[in-house]
Amino acid sequence: MTVQFDRIALIGIGLIGSSLAHDIKRLGLAKEVVIATRSAETLKRAEELELGDRYTTSSAEAVKDADLVIVSVPVGASEAVAKEIAGSLKPGAIVTDVGSTKASVIAQMQPHMPDNVHFIPGHPLAGTEKSGPDAGFPGLFAGRWCIFTPLEGTDEKALAALSRFWETLGSKIDVMDPEHHDKVLAIVSHLPHLIAFNIVGTADDLGTVTESEVIKYSASGFRDFTRLAASDPTMWRDVCLHNKDAILEMLARFSEDLAYLQRAIRWGEGDKIFDLFTRTRAIRRSIIEAGQDVDAPDFGRPHTLDKKG
Amino acid sequence: MTVQFDRIALIGIGLIGSSLAHDIKRLGLAKEVVIATRSAETLKRAEELELGDRYTTSSAEAVKDADLVIVSVPVGASEAVAKEIAGSLKPGAIVTDVGSTKASVIAQMQPHMPDNVHFIPGHPLAGTEKSGPDAGFPGLFAGRWCIFTPLEGTDEKALAALSRFWETLGSKIDVMDPEHHDKVLAIVSHLPHLIAFNIVGTADDLGTVTESEVIKYSASGFRDFTRLAASDPTMWRDVCLHNKDAILEMLARFSEDLAYLQRAIRWGEGDKIFDLFTRTRAIRRSIIEAGQDVDAPDFGRPHTLDKKG
């Protein structure tokens, strides 16, 4: 591979930042990678993992002379980062982010961005339930979508250079407006996470069924939800607060549908229940056909004959 | 292994029945396995897969001279099966089932069981989202729990023989009363499935976000729910109708908790959101420590560098 940017600054070095660091190094996409994070402890860990070439707790310091700046912080911290780096950005630099909400990130960052940099909001749809610099790994973005929500008048060359960067990591690019992004993500990502957090909370609060029973028998369905519910609390709190309108709309629809199902159960309306349960099967099939999930039963979890439970 | 029952009759040959057939054959637990299912087509498929020794569409025929009868049908069909087999059961035979609800199965079957057979309701907590005779595989029950809800006065020797059978398949045995079973399963299994069916239905009904977008971007959380929502519609309709009270109670609690979370989002109460999201993480950890799920990120789904999406 060839160098795409002389210097890349990674602001934030959690799951996404550290996965980017692995890929940039592996593919030789930069001459120098500078890593910044506010926590001295996290920074030390990034250095131990040899994720970059230079390390600093100052975002302003990190972005000096950087050609590409990637902000990978909880979305609620976007404005603070924008303010901190604004005065130190190199003219012509590309500044992007990886936040799960886009309208809010734009509102927080754009006002602080100098006219002579290219601010291109982005969101790679990739990740796991793990967090922190140890959670990153090479190839996280391969085969996944990266959505850009460029502002009016975005420089075509800058967008092409950023697209090429993500494509080199194996991502597929989509472009849409920030409001549509936020609605799409509210249903495909934010609502599922909220529901998972919520049901795990409900199970934790029961008097008649003990927590040890919930854990012991979790393989019968419940455990699937606990994976999403183990995701980073700070990141997800920020998503809730920063995509409020779209999330509230999806929550309202979900609750309405659940009330309909609940009523069908109460009144023994088997046909209505059967219709819903049949319809949802088709969506799973489409997702597998689109290559967006494995077809192996139970997500391919091991069911070995010598398994100890 | 040694023969535990001269003749075993399997009534129903879906995911659970066919997995039992694989294990009985593999471990040599019976001299003869007789398979019965109402559908001639399914029966033919079971025969092609060589799951048993004899095949019949008559449950009454199948249970003749059987020492162990395992009923593996949607719980709503329990009474019909009980009526059909009652007059043909061998004195001293053990009759068990694998249904996901227990109070209802007992109410449906017990009145029809002759006094000279041992009816022991059971429920192996094992399965995948696949269904039908092709879905079964050897080892499905290894490391999983099998819960018995024996009736008053159950013969200890019969219970011990049935326990030994499941333990030979690798299962761990628990015993509880049917009402408690139904509450436990309502939270660890039934509610998660209902929520998954429901959210997939909600996503299917949106106007502003297209179905192709939901599928395309499903890896960001949504796809996890589609697995449970791909489970057998008949089986799950019956579970809803036959564990109504416990399910409605859990649904009410879940909805209450969701309203609390929704309100916190609307009013921007970050602390309340953060508290919930932190608490749920601990449960995931306990489940992994208890050996009830894999610790690999993303359920160990492949994240390979050469992955095509």
Segment B206-238, tens digit of pLDDT: 878 888 999 999 999 999 999 999 999 999 999
The pLDDT assigned to B243 comes to 98
**CB contact, 8 Å: A55 with chain B?**
no
Write the Ramachandran bin of B143: left for phi over 0, alpha for psi from -120 to 50, otherwise beta.
left
The pLDDT assigned to A270 comes to 97
Do A221 and B198 lie within an 8 Å CB cutoff? no
Q: Which alpha helices (H) appear in chain A, and where do they start and end?
A: 15-27, 40-48, 59-63, 78-86, 103-109, 156-168, 178-185, 191-204, 211-216, 222-228, 233-242, 244-266, 270-289
In a domain, B194, yes or no: yes
Instruction: Give the Cα separation of B293 and B284 in Å (integer).
Output: 9
The beta-carbon neighbor of A270 closest among B220, B241, B255 is B241
Task: Tell me which residue of B153, B140, B5 sits closest to B72, measured CA to CA.
Answer: B140
Cβ burial A263-274 (10 Å sphere, 16+ → b, else e):
ebbeeebbebbb
Count of structural domains within chain B: 2
In the stretch 223-282 of chain A, residues with CB closer than 8 A to chain B read 223-231, 233-234, 236-237, 240-241, 244, 247-248, 250-251, 253-255, 257-259, 261-262, 264-266, 268, 270, 273-274, 276-281
Considering the domain architecture, whether residues B23 and B158 belong to the same structural domain is answered as: yes
The pLDDT assigned to B309 comes to 37
Considering the domain architecture, whether residues A107 and A185 belong to the same structural domain is answered as: no
Domain boundary among B148, B176, B204: B176
Do B301 and A299 lie within an 8 Å CB cutoff? yes
Considering the domain architecture, whether residues B158 and B55 belong to the same structural domain is answered as: yes
Considering the domain architecture, whether residues A91 and A164 belong to the same structural domain is answered as: yes
The pLDDT assigned to A304 comes to 60
In a domain, B138, yes or no: yes
The pLDDT assigned to B308 comes to 41
In a domain, A111, yes or no: yes
The pLDDT assigned to B58 comes to 98
Considering the domain architecture, whether residues A105 and A194 belong to the same structural domain is answered as: no
**CB contact, 8 Å: A176 with chain B?**
no
How many Cα neighbours within 13 Å face the side chain of A275? 8
**CB contact, 8 Å: B170 with chain A?**
yes
Determine the distance in angstroms separating the CA of B303 from the nearest CA of chain A, rounded to an integer: 6
In a domain, A305, yes or no: no
Determine the distance in angstroms separating the CA of A28 from the nearest CA of chain B, rounded to an integer: 15
Per residue in A210-244, pLDDT (tens digit) is 889 999 999 999 999 999 999 999 999 999 999 99
- What does the DSSP 8-state code read for residue A114? -
Considering the domain architecture, whether residues B166 and B19 belong to the same structural domain is answered as: yes
Task: Tell me which residue of B103, B100, B110, B48 sits closest to B79, measured CA to CA.
Answer: B110
Per residue in A151-171, pLDDT (tens digit) is 999 999 999 999 999 999 999
Give the mutation candidate from A179, A197, A269 for the B interface (greatest B CB count, under 10 A). Answer: A197
The pLDDT assigned to B305 comes to 59
Contact residues on chain B for A180, CB-CB shorter than 8 A = 208
Phi, psi (degrees; rounded to nearest 5) at A51 = -75, -25
**CB contact, 8 Å: B27 with chain A?**
no
Give kind and range of the element (H or E) at residue B249: helix B244-266
The pLDDT assigned to B180 comes to 97
Do A204 and B257 lie within an 8 Å CB cutoff? no
Contact (Cβ atoms closer than 8 angstroms) between residue B304 and residue A140: no
The pLDDT assigned to A233 comes to 96
Task: Tell me which residue of A235, A256, A251, A189 sits closest to B262, measured CA to CA.
Answer: A251
Let me know the angle formed at the C-alpha of B67 by B10 and B155, rounded to the nearest 5 degrees: 115
The pLDDT assigned to A305 comes to 59
Residue with the larger pLDDT of the pair A200 and B305 = A200
In chain B, the largest separation of any two C-alpha atoms, in whole Å, equals: 67
Count CB-CB contacts under 10 A for residue A36.
Answer: 29
**Helix (H/G/I), strand (E/B), else coil: B301:** coil
Domain boundary among B135, B152, B176: B176
Per residue in A115-150, pLDDT (tens digit) is 999 999 999 999 999 999 999 999 999 999 999 999
Considering the domain architecture, whether residues A45 and A129 belong to the same structural domain is answered as: yes
Do B258 and A299 lie within an 8 Å CB cutoff? no
Contact residues on chain A for B306, CB-CB shorter than 8 A = 142
Strand pairing partners for B231?
none
The 3 state secondary structure assigned to B41-67 is HHHHHHHHCCCCCEEECCHHHHHCCCC
Instruction: Give the Cα separation of B27 and B168 in Å (integer).
Output: 8
Cβ burial B89-126 (10 Å sphere, 16+ → b, else e):
bbeebbbbbbbbbbbbbbebbeebbeeebbbbbbbbbb
Q: What is the ipTM of this complex?
A: 0.93
Determine the distance in angstroms separating the CA of A2 from the nearest CA of chain B, rounded to an integer: 18
Domain span at A146: 5-176
Instruction: Give the Cα separation of A142 and A108 in Å (integer).
Output: 29
Contact residues on chain B for A195, CB-CB shorter than 8 A = 195, 199, 225, 258
- What does the DSSP 8-state code read for residue A186? I
Considering the domain architecture, whether residues B158 and B269 belong to the same structural domain is answered as: no
Percent of chain B with pLDDT over 70: 98
Contact residues on chain B for A261, CB-CB shorter than 8 A = 194, 197-198
Instruction: Give the Cα separation of B304 and B307 in Å (integer).
Output: 5
In a domain, A307, yes or no: no
pLDDT per 10-residue tile (average), chain B, 309 residues = 94 98 98 98 98 98 98 98 98 98 98 98 96 96 96 97 98 97 97 95 86 92 94 97 97 96 98 95 91 90 59
**CB contact, 8 Å: B162 with chain A?**
no
In a domain, A63, yes or no: yes
Strands B118-120 and A172-175, bridge-based pairing: unpaired
Considering the domain architecture, whether residues B204 and B95 belong to the same structural domain is answered as: no
What's the CATH code of the domain at B262?
1.10.3660.10
Considering the domain architecture, whether residues A38 and A165 belong to the same structural domain is answered as: yes
Instruction: Give the Cα separation of A265 and A270 in Å (integer).
Output: 8
Contact residues on chain B for A16, CB-CB shorter than 8 A = none
**Average per-residue pLDDT for chain A:** 95
For residue A238, the chain B residue with the least C-alpha distance is B270
Per residue in A15-45, pLDDT (tens digit) is 999 999 999 999 999 999 999 999 999 999 9
In a domain, B229, yes or no: yes
What's the CATH code of the domain at A117?
3.40.50.720
Considering the domain architecture, whether residues B35 and B152 belong to the same structural domain is answered as: yes
In a domain, B221, yes or no: yes
The pLDDT assigned to A309 comes to 37
Give kind and range of the element (H or E) at residue B212: helix B211-216
Instruction: Give the Cα separation of B238 and A274 in Å (integer).
Output: 9
How many Cα neighbours within 13 Å face the side chain of B15? 19
pLDDT at A207 over 80: no
Considering the domain architecture, whether residues B106 and B130 belong to the same structural domain is answered as: yes
The pLDDT assigned to B200 comes to 93
Domain boundary among B176, B194, B217: B176
Query: Computed over its alpha carbons, how large is the radius of gyration of chain A?
Result: 22
